[in-house]
Amino acid sequence: MPVFEYAPAPESRAIANLKDRYKPFINGEFVDGSGEPLKTINPATEEVLAEVGTASKSDVDTAVKAARKAFSTWSRMPGTERAKYLFRIARLIQERSRELAVLESLDNGKPIKESRDSDIPTAAAHFFYHAGWADKLDYAGYGPNPKPLGVAGQIIPWNFPLLMLAWKIAPALATGNTVVLKPAETTPLTALVFADICRQAELPPGVVNILPGAGDIGASIVEHPGIDKIAFTGSTEVGKAIQREVAGTPKKLTLELGGKAANIVFEDAPLDQAIEGIVNGIFFNQGHVCCAGSRLLVQESIAEEVLEKLRYRVSTLRVGDPLDKNTDVGAINSAEQLAKIRGLVESGDAEGAQRWTSPCPMPDRGFFFAPTVFANVHQSMRIAREEIFGPVLSVLTFRTPDEAVAKANNTPYGLSAGIWTEKGSRILWMANQLRAGVVWANTFNRFDPTAPFGGYQESGFGREGGRTGLEAYLNV
């Protein structure tokens, strides 16, 4: 049979309108930060994209004071008026969607088809959805006339830079709070373009402040006495440190942390559909997903068939230039993350798991890792216990539903899980037994702004999205 190759279909990087230098956004203006500038790089090529001015502790103080001053006006503004700003921001995200998508792929390394078709549209959807709530808070189930908390300090990760920003800023603004947000050190660019969108939307000065920087800036935000609420998405280790810092203070806190999700496939599952769900569950966004289905639990009777189908499907994934519309798996976000993935994969080899790596061609430069599947994995292995945050899948087997539940729950995390079966009663029973904040049935990695998202145990607490997510920003 003839072999068909995909011709390159690159998106133009010129669409990103990349600047040589970006600045922090404080009190409605781009200002020279007094921190040490950082250089953000393209993980697919290791080239410097831009120099980014960073904030210092004094800049944090300035931003918090600006947000506090703006809160006095923003919180008293009628919900219908706040909604107009959120609707305007949502429409501007849509209007600048190609620019944002290309910039996100350049700065983060994710495939353009994911940033274009998933991240940016969902970010706009969060602002549209929460704009609808701004004048209906009296009917959200939190009593009459619920009040905003004040100034929200928000710290977001590098895996979904603009989307995580939208998850946090949209509900905060809709409920009448003001924001001081720190983007991840390696992916600050779309957050700073979002700041420009706030200017375009004529958002009042101080309502949103964006402070690029390293972990010390995040710590300064957490420690600042003028912050009323902290919302953090990131690693469990940092989340624990934040919780210790906030303990004993009046600050409200929500944490969305790591995960080690189980994707459970029963023998009656529609296998072709399940294979696509497995691939999407772990290789979407290079596995840089807190709720990634990194543990595949397969019923023993179909394990060999699933592995055979899975290896074939994974071998067809294309790894390469994130701006190429044919690319399925882009670049790992940083050299540090790539080293962590390699270290955990080496532990899988050392502990006796059976490793299979896709034979796909790999780029000559950049931070890339070929999709990898481990079979014969035991629960005691590091690859089955620790969050890899990369394109690496661990496959375990089970015989009975009770065994599947026991293995799925054998983790300190509790963010998500997936169930694949044709029996509706089994889905409902399993969902009730699994200790996970989100349980998908016959699908995986599906998100909607109307649905709350969050975890249990070391995956954090609190919910983002939906009516439930409003509570995190209201004094109820």
**Active-site option among 11, 104, 114, 256:** 256
Rg (the chain; Cα; Å): 22
Tokens of 138: 């009296």
Q: What stretch of H or E contains 89? A: helix 79-95
Q: What is the C-alpha separation between 60 and 217, in angstroms, rounded?
A: 7
Q: What is the C-alpha separation between 90 and 369, in angstroms, rounded?
A: 35
> Which has the closest alpha carbon to 256: 452, 2, 24, 68?
452
Active site residue 245: no
Strand ranges of the sheet holding 38-42, from the earlier edge strand across to the other edge: 21-22, 47-52, 38-42
SS3 content of the chain, % helix, strand, coil (to 5): 45, 20, 40
Q: What is the C-alpha separation between 307 and 355, in angstroms, rounded?
A: 12
Q: What region, left, alpha or beta, does residue 150 occupy, with left being phi > 0 and alpha being psi -120 to 50 degrees?
A: left
**Active-site option among 11, 114, 185, 290:** 290
List 219's β-bridge partners, or say none.
none
Q: What is the C-alpha separation between 273 and 222, in angstroms, rounded?
A: 44
DSSP string, 301-348: GGHHHHHHHHHHHHHT--BS-TTBTT-SB---S-HHHHHHHHHHHHHH
List 395's β-bridge partners, or say none.
296
Count of alpha carbons within 13 angstroms of residue 86, beta-carbon side? 32
Query: Is residue 43 within 8 Å of 105, Cβ to Cβ?
Result: no
Active site residue 290: yes
Active site residues: 256, 290
